[in-house]
Structure 1
C-alpha cells in the first residue's frame, strides 16, 4: 500500500532527527522497565512538564516494584494527588503487586504476560516492551496516530478500533531491526514537538519531503477524529464545615465509597443538587442542610457562600457552590460526645497532607486558608 522508499525514508530520517533533538527526560536516562512503566502511565492524558516532578517524587518514594507493591494504597494515591484519573494509580499498583507475586518483581518481557496485567493496554505494553526491552512492538497513542495519519494521508476516524489496528500494523512495519526503543520514542517525540495538533511545524519536520498530507494541503485537517459527547453538567453544593470546641481549627472531611468514581479518596461533604438550577443563597443553603441531614445524618448550620468552582471529568462536570458551615447538631451521640459517621473525620490544616484529595477540594481548601486574615 505504501512504497518501501516512503517507509524507509520515514524511519531513517526520523531516527537521525531523534538522536540529535530528543529531550532529556528523566525516564530516558534508564532502561529500567519499572520506571518506564510508571512514566507511561503518568503520561496518559497528562503533559510532560506536569509529569516530571511527579515522576521524581514517585520513584523516590517507591523506588522498586516491591516498594510500590507493599505500600498502603492511601500513600500511593497521595503521591499521585494532582495528576488526576486516579484509577491509573490503583490499576498500576494492582499490576505491580502481580508482578511482585508472580514474576519475582521482574516486569514481564512478553506481550502476552504484560498485557494480562491490570490496566495494561496495547499502548502501555508496546511502550514498555519496546523502550525497555527493545522488542519490535508498536506503541500507538494520539501523537503517533496524528503523525501516521498525516505522513501516510490516512483519512479514517482514529477513534475507530479498526483504524487503531491498522496504525499498529503500520507502526510495526516501520520499525527497523534493532531500533524499536529509539524508533517508538522518536515517533512520540515528533508528534509532541513538531507534528502538533494545531499549527504543525512542518518546515522543521525531518520527514516533510514525503509527507502526503502536506503535499495535499491537508496537514491541519488530519487526523480525522469524531468528536466525543461533551461532559454533562452536574450541580453540587459543598459544605466547608469548620469545627468548634475541641475541634476548633479543624475541618470535617469524608471518605468516598470503596468503589466507583474517585473511590476511597477524601473530600469535603457535598451533595448532588436536585433542582434544575441554583436558587437564592438562602434556598441553596437550606437545601444543602436538608440533603446532608437526610443522606448523611449530619446536621449543619450553613453560613456564607464562599466560592463557585468546577471539576471536569471525561464524562461529567461538577459545577459547585461552596458554603462555609458549622456543625449544628447531630442525629446520634455516643458517650455524651459528638458523633459523626465512620467515613467522616475532623482534620487540622497540618494533617491534610496525610489524605489524598481530588484537585478541586485541594483548590477550595487552599483558597480558604489563603482567605483567612
Structure 2
C-alpha cells in the first residue's frame, strides 16, 4: 500500500481505536528511558501479565540506574528470577551496568544503545520511541503481523527479516505520534489481530481495506 491518503487513514483509524483500547501498563507513557528500557528487557519472550508485578517490584527497588549499578548482581537477579530465561536476566543486568559505566545514564542515541552488548535493534528503537515519542522502525511479532496483513504480504518463513516487511512497517508508522501508533498496533495484535484466530469483524482497519480481512469470505 503506497497511497499516502490510505496510509494517513490507516494511522488515523488505528489511533482512534487506540484512544479507548490502549492498555495503560505501568511502563507506558513514561518519558524516563531507564524505565522504558527495563520494561523492554522484561517483555522479551515473556507475557505482559507476568511482567507487571516484577516490573513494579524492580523499579521500586531500583528507581534509578545509579542505584541499580551499585547493587550486587545476585540481589538484582533475585527479583528478576520469576521471569525465567536466565540468560536474558544476566544479559539485562550486564547491559544496564555497562550503560552506567559508559554514560552514567540511559542514552537515547540508537547507535550508543545497540553497541551495548545485550541490546538489539528492537529494544534500542523501542526505548527511544516510547520515551521520546520519536519515530523508529520497530520490527517485532506484533508489528510484523499487523502491517504485513494490511499490506497483503506473506508471513511465511522469517517475515520479520524480509526487506519488504521492514519497509512497510517504516512507511506505515506515524511520524507525529509514533508512540501512540505503536501502542495501538501492539494492543490490536494482542486483542484482535491474533496469529491463528483473528477477529477481523471487529477490526478498525477493515475499511482501509485490510487485504487479509477482505479475503475472508464472510467479510469480503
The TM-score normalised by the length of structure 1 is 0.55
Counterpart in 2 of 1:135? 134
Q: List runs of 5+ in structure 2 lacking aligned partners.
A: none
Runs of 4+, deviation exceeding 6 Å: none
Who is 1:24 aligned against?
A: 24
Matches for 1:106-185 after TM superposition, within 5 Å: 107-159=106-158, 162-163=161-162, 165-185=163-183
Q: What residue in structure 1 maps to residue 49 of structure 2? A: 49
Higher normalized helix content (fraction of residues): 2
Structure 1 gap ranges (5+): 219-373
Match of 2:198 in 1: 200
Residue 11 of structure 1 pairs with residue 7 of structure 2: no
Following the alignment from structure 1 to structure 2, what is the Cα–Cα distance between the partners of residues 170 and 42? 27
Higher relative contact order (CA 8 A, sep 6+): 2
Cα offset, 1:71, TM superposition = 1.7
Q: Aligned to 2:185, which of 164, 184, 187?
A: 187
Q: Distance in 1 between matches of 2:157 and 2:70?
A: 39
More strand by share: 1
Aligned residues of 1:144 and 1:187 also touching (Cα < 8 A): yes
2: CA distance, partners of 1:29 / 1:124? 16
Q: Please tell me the root mean square deviation across aligned C-alpha atoms, in Å.
A: 1.8
2:188, 2:170 → 1: CA distance?
A: 17
Query: Cα gap change, 1:28/1:161 in structure 2, threshold over 3 Å: closer, same or farther?
Result: closer
Query: Aligned partners of 2:214, 2:159: CA distance in 1, in Å?
Result: 25
TM-score between both structures, scaled by the size of structure 2: 0.90
**Cα offsets for 1:235-282 (capped at 9, x unmatched):** xxxxxxxxxxxxxxxxxxxxxxxxxxxxxxxxxxxxxxxxxxxxxxxx
Q: CA deviation at 1:141?
A: 1.1
How many angstroms apart in 2 are the aligned matches of 1:145 and 1:97? 31
1:1-373 aligned at under 5 Å gives the runs 2-105=2-105, 107-159=106-158, 162-163=161-162, 165-209=163-207, 210-217=209-216
Alignment partners' CA distance in 1, 2:24 and 2:108: 25
> What is the alpha-carbon distance in structure 1 between the residues aligned to residue 131 and residue 29 of structure 2?
11
Q: Displacement, 1:175?
A: 2.2
Structure 1 Cα separation of the partners of residues 147 and 100 of structure 2 = 37
Whole-Å Cα distance in 2 between the matches of residues 161 and 141 of structure 1?
7
Query: Aligned pairs, how many?
Result: 216
The structure-2 alpha-carbon separation of the partners of 1:115 and 1:63, relative to structure 1 and needing over 3 Å to count, comes to same
- The CA deviation at 1:161 is 5.9
The answer (yes or no) to whether the contact 2:200–2:206 under 8 Å persists in 1 is yes
| Aligned counterparts of 2:197 and 2:182: Cα–Cα separation in 1 | 23
How far apart are 1:127 and its partner, in Å? 0.8
